[in-house]
Every structure is written in structure tokens, then in C-alpha cells.
Amino acid sequence: MKISARNQLKGILTEIKPGVVTAKLTIDIGNGNLLSSVITMDSITDLNLKVGDEVFAIIKSTEVMIGKQE
């Protein structure tokens, strides 16, 4: 897999919560860190994603929000 995005996190797909059009995925990226993503159901089918798969979370910097708990 070759892509231009530099922010790539490898992990294990631990949960798929399907909806009608989209699904929420949870990825374990190690050290107790979980990452969530929402993608279309069509993408899940096209990529043949299932719990336990090794996947890459690819983060485009223009779409990352930062929050701070006060």
C-alpha cells in the first residue's frame, strides 16, 4: 500500500458498530490506546473488514481536531 499521507497508525480492528449507511470502527493502536473512525458500510464491504483484521488508520492533518479537558 502506497499513499501520500504521512500519519498512518497500524492497529487491530476490535469493533464494528454498523448503522444503516455508516459504521463506527474501533482500532486498538497499542498501549491501551483506541482510535475510532466512521466509514460507509460500502467501504466495509469493499475492504472486507472484520474484527481482528490488521488495519491502518490514515489521518489527514486537515481533518484532525484537538481538544483539551479543563
pTM higher than 0.85:
no
Whether residue 9 contacts residue 35, with contact meaning beta carbons closer than 8 Å, is answered with: yes
Element (H, E) at 1: none
Per-residue confidence in pLDDT tens, the chain, 70 aa: 788 777 888 999 999 999 999 999 999 999 999 999 999 999 999 999 999 999 999 887 776 666 667 7
Please give the CATH topology (third level) of the domain spanning 7-58. Answer: OB fold (Dihydrolipoamide Acetyltransferase, E2P) (2.40.50)
Number of Cβ within 10 Å of residue 69's Cβ equals 3
Whether residue 11 contacts residue 66, with contact meaning beta carbons closer than 8 Å, is answered with: no
Sequence spans of domains, the chain? 7-58
